[in-house]
Amino acid sequence: MAQKPEGELHHAGLYSTQNLGLLLNLLGLKPPDGALGGFDGVLTGLRTGDLLPALLQAQCRNGPVILRLEDIHWIDTGTAALVRMLVCDAQIADLLVVQTLRPEYCPDWLDGPRVTTLALGPLADAEIAALVQERLAASDLPGDLLATVKERSGGNPLSCEKILSYGFSMAH
What is the number of helices (H) and of strands (E) in the chain? Answer: 7, 2
Per-residue pLDDT, 23? 92
- pLDDT exceeds 50 at position 163: yes
- Residue ranges of E strands in the chain: 65-69, 95-99
* pLDDT above 70: percentage of residues in the chain: 95
Closest CA to 87 of 44, 52, 42, 46: 52
Those residues with Cβ within 8 angstroms of residue 60's Cβ, 6 or more apart along the chain or in another chain: 92, 93, 94, 95
Q: Which residues partner with 17 through β-bridges?
A: none
Decide if 86 contacts 97 (C-beta within 8 A): yes
Instruction: List the domain boundaries for the chain.
Output: 1-62, 63-119, 125-171
- pLDDT exceeds 60 at position 16: yes
- pLDDT exceeds 50 at position 24: yes
Residue 170's pLDDT band (cuts 50, 70, 90): very low
Residue 172's pLDDT band (cuts 50, 70, 90): very low
- pLDDT exceeds 60 at position 94: yes
pTM for the model stands at 0.71
